């Protein structure tokens, strides 16, 4: 069975809906499409130094997707973000940092993203074999009641010393601590660029007020799009964002500023068009958008991950960053899931909508 046939089978009766969609909102010709020369074409005129370009190229050129302009990253920071018990009890081998890195290597990922401790524990053995992405901040999950605040866990210099290709950080846009987080992460990204590392922003919304009349607007296209736009403003080289599930957050919640054209011309109800609006807010794709794989739901994980990958790719995104769906399974199943998602990006027949 060809890769495309397998993908079509996984999409089931939604295959035509996702693979046959022709976007009538933001034209695909306006999007900086991923490709083998993406770093040269879209970063060469920027303020990024030669060392940053070198590390961006190392990330884009590694693994099964190397040289395509797409990336597949294994993120395992959930031991802090969601607790080690909740994350690793389903598969205790990933309490061991080396097994996290080896999963990313076996699956052919472009890079592995994790905590200072995880990557430091095995940096001398693996940092030269696969790009390391050191997560700078976390929401520690032991304060009671939970505060949902991203705090720094180490220095940018420490990440550089362990051979990191890039640093990553999270901002909870809309939260009480958002302004401080924006300033801290902006300063950290500036320092990372000075040292020659690339920067990746986990661009999330967090505010109880973003749930209105039973609808959760934390993943609305308009609000996540603006979060992306702030993220690229502080010079993130790649934006990580959740796939949009709805739109109209500004109007429903009744705050901020928007424009009717966002909903009538620049987006539609189709998931690909909603994701394209996210891409547009990343400087029309000149800063790559990768969507997150989300929590493990069990038997539907492979179908869900492939669907997300198809939406991301056809919208103009650059890849998937997927953790729990992979590492909470036996190794062979986790590798198969990651590589099936990678096959979406390797198949040239799946193109921009």
Q: How far apart are the first and last CA of the chain?
A: 24
Domain presence at residue 352: no
In this predicted structure, what is the pLDDT of residue 2? Answer: 74
- In this structure, the number of other CB atoms found within 10 A of the CB of residue 176 comes to 13
Q: Please, which residues bridge with residue 169 across strands?
A: 201
In this predicted structure, what is the pLDDT of residue 141? Answer: 84
pLDDT tens digits, one per residue of 17-31: 999 999 999 999 999
The answer, as to whether pTM is greater than 0.85, is yes
Angle, CA of 295, 300 and 302, to the nearest 5° = 85
Whether a cis peptide bond, with omega within 30° of 0, leads into 145 is yes
| CB 119, CB 98: distance < 8 Å | no
CA distances for 329 relative to 82, 86, 146, 326, 336, angstroms = 17, 14, 28, 6, 10
What whole-number distance in Å separates Cα of residue 62 and Cα of residue 64?
7
The domain in which residue 115 lies consists of 3-346
pLDDT tens digits, one per residue of 289-322: 999 988 888 889 999 999 999 999 999 999 999 9
Total domain count, the chain: 1
CATH for 265 = 3.20.20.70
What whole-number distance in Å separates Cα of residue 11 and Cα of residue 101?
30
What whole-number distance in Å separates Cα of residue 189 and Cα of residue 130?
21
In this predicted structure, what is the pLDDT of residue 1? Answer: 61
Burial status of residue 2 (CB atoms within 10 A of its CB: 0-12, 13-18, 19 or more): exposed
Domain presence at residue 21: yes
Domain presence at residue 351: no
Catalytic residue among 14, 129, 240, 336: 240
Domain presence at residue 11: yes
Domain presence at residue 206: yes
Matching residue, tokens 């080396």: 98
Tokens of 107: 């699956």
Tally of residues, the chain = 353
In this predicted structure, what is the pLDDT of residue 295? Answer: 84
In this predicted structure, what is the pLDDT of residue 79? Answer: 87
Distance of CA 164 to the CA centre of its chain: 18
Low-confidence ranges of the chain (pLDDT < 70): 1
Domain presence at residue 49: yes
Active site residue 240: yes
Domain presence at residue 234: yes
Domain presence at residue 68: yes
Sign of the alpha-carbon dihedral angle for 212, 216, 218, 221: negative
Which residues neighbour 58 within 8 Å (Cβ) at sequence distance 6 or greater? 131, 165
């Amino acid at each position: 069975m060809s890769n495309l046939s397998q993908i079509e089978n996984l999409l089931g009766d939604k295959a035509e809906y996702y693979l046959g969609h022709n976007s009538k909102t933001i034209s695909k010709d306006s999007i900086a499409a991923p490709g083998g020369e993406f770093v040269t074409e879209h970063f060469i005129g920027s303020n990024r130094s030669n060392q940053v370009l070198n590390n961006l190229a190392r990330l884009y050129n590694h693994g099964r997707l190397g040289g395509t302009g797409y990336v597949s990253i294994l993120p395992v920071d959930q031991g802090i973000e969601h607790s080690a018990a909740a994350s690793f009890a389903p598969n205790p081998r990933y309490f061991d940092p080396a097994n996290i890195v080896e999963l990313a290597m076996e699956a052919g990922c472009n890079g592995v993203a994790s905590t200072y401790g995880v990557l430091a524990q095995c940096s001398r053995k693996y940092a030269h074999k696969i790009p390391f992405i050191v997560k700078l901040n976390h929401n520690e999950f032991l304060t009671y009641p939970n505060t949902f605040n991203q705090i720094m866990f180490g220095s940018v210099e420490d990440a550089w010393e362990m051979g990191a290709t890039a640093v990553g950080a999270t901002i909870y846009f809309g939260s009480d601590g958002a302004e401080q987080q924006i300033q801290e992460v902006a300063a950290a990204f500036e320092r990372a660029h000075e040292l020659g590392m690339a920067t990746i922003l986990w661009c999330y919304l967090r505010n109880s007020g973003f749930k209105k009349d039973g609808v959760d607007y934390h993943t609305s296209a308009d609000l996540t799009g603006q979060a992306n736009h702030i993220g690229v403003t502080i010079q993130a080289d790649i934006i990580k964002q959740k796939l949009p599930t709805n739109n109209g957050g500004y109007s429903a919640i009744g705050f901020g500023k928007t424009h009717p054209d966002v909903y009538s011309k620049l987006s539609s109800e189709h998931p690909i068009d909603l994701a394209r609006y996210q891409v547009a807010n990343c400087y029309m794709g000149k800063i790559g958008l990768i969507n997150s794989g989300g929590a493990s739901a069990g038997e539907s994980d492979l179908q869900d991950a492939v669907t997300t990958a198809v939406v991301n790719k056809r919208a103009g995104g650059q890849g998937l960053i997927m953790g729990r769906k992979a590492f909470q399974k036996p190794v062979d199943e986790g590798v198969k899931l990651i590589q099936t998602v990678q096959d979406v990006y390797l198949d040239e027949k799946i193109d921009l909508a």
